[in-house]
Amino acid sequence: MKRILVLILTLGAWAGFGTSFAAAWQVSSVNDLWIDLRMGGPLIPLFNEVARESDIARVDDPAQIGQLRATENGRRMVVFKSLAEAETALPQIASEIDVIGYNFEANSATPTGELADPLESIMAIRALADEYDLQVAFGPDHDLALAHGVDMAPYVDIFVLQVQRQQTNPEVVKEFVQPLIPQLREANPDLEVSVQVRTEGDSDQIIELLDSLKADLDGVSILTSPDTVETAEALVRGLRAQESPFMRMIEEQSPWLYLALGVLLGVAGSFLYKRWRREA
């Protein structure tokens, strides 16, 4: 009886600690990365089929909000090219999205005034997001990420590192992201980090690149186009190839399962302890 009691109490302790372990569990497979997928009509059924609660359906123009309305799971994001665009559109669509995307590139439509003061710009986006209780996803180009990323990281929830132009050069990608990510996380310990790839080339090679970076990442952001739907589908299915519905349920509910197991073992241990004391 005493040995059984010790065993139950030990298992109960491990189950209780399991909740913390599950929360701190690092990515061990590309299957564990959340997916941020740029929508297009043909990809909506795919997203609805595979999306988890943490995945993101994304459009790059507020006028495309209808595509997000057709999604059934995950988070919804609209990418804005400027603060003014966000201020204009959000009163109409904020209730339908979860994340404000802020595209910040020197060679894009980002206004020169916002580029001139990056910190002030991201603080303004943060304040706007807080007004509507939304997250902020920030996707600067390579040079801006290196120059200002660490200073801007405390004001965002998701930091997207653009590697799509070098995704066929793994060493170049690693030289960019691996030194920067620890600095970003130090500046914002709650930060989610992804790398952005595009659906061009071989999907297996893209997955191989992501596999080499998975320990540093929370997710992968995928640029799509009407001409690369098949590659997008292959990439998404490849990233989720190892997942079964049962394992998805276990993964999503693991903290509660650990807690329930701990409670049950604790009750059983208490009962046996009282019985052991009576018999002793």
Helices H, strands E: what count in the chain? 11, 8
When divided into structural domains, the chain yields a total of 2
Predicted pLDDT at 14: 45
**Do 133 and 166 share a structural domain?**
yes
Q: Which of 18, 57, 52 is nearest to 41 (CA)?
A: 57
Q: Same domain, yes or no, for 11 and 34?
A: no
In this prediction, residue 109 carries a pLDDT of: 80
Distance CA 198, CA 37 (A): 10
User: Is there a single domain that holds both residue 104 and residue 202?
Assistant: yes
Residue labelled with tokens 């060493």:
171
pLDDT computed for residue 214 by the predictor: 96
CB distance 137 to 125 below 8 Å: no
According to the model, what pLDDT value does residue 115 have? 95
Instruction: Name the residue range of residue 162's domain.
Output: 30-241
183 backbone dihedrals φ, ψ, rounded to 5°: -65, -40
Give the torsion sign (CA, 111, 88, 127, 222). Answer: negative
What pLDDT is stored for residue 19 in this prediction?
Answer: 40
Residue of 152, 77, 154, 86 whose CA lies nearest to 115: 152
Residue 137's domain is classified under what CATH number?
A: 3.20.20.70
Check whether residue 276 and residue 251 sit in a common domain.
yes
Same domain for 235 and 185? yes
228 and 143 in a common domain: yes
For residues 89 and 148, membership in a common domain is answered with yes
Q: What is the pLDDT along the chain (280 residues), one digit of tens a residue?
A: 555 544 444 445 444 444 443 333 345 689 999 999 999 989 999 999 999 999 999 999 999 999 999 999 999 999 999 999 999 999 999 999 999 999 999 877 899 999 999 999 999 999 999 999 999 999 999 999 999 999 999 999 999 999 999 999 999 999 999 999 999 999 999 999 999 999 999 999 999 999 999 999 999 999 999 999 999 999 999 999 854 444 445 455 656 555 665 666 566 666 666 665 676 6
- Distance of alpha carbon 99 from alpha carbon 101, whole angstroms: 6
Do 155 and 16 share a structural domain?
Answer: no
For residues 113 and 220, state if they share a domain.
yes
pLDDT at 241: 87
Token readout for 111 is 């206004």
Cβ neighbours of 205 (radius 10 Å): 12
pLDDT at 29 (0 to 100): 87
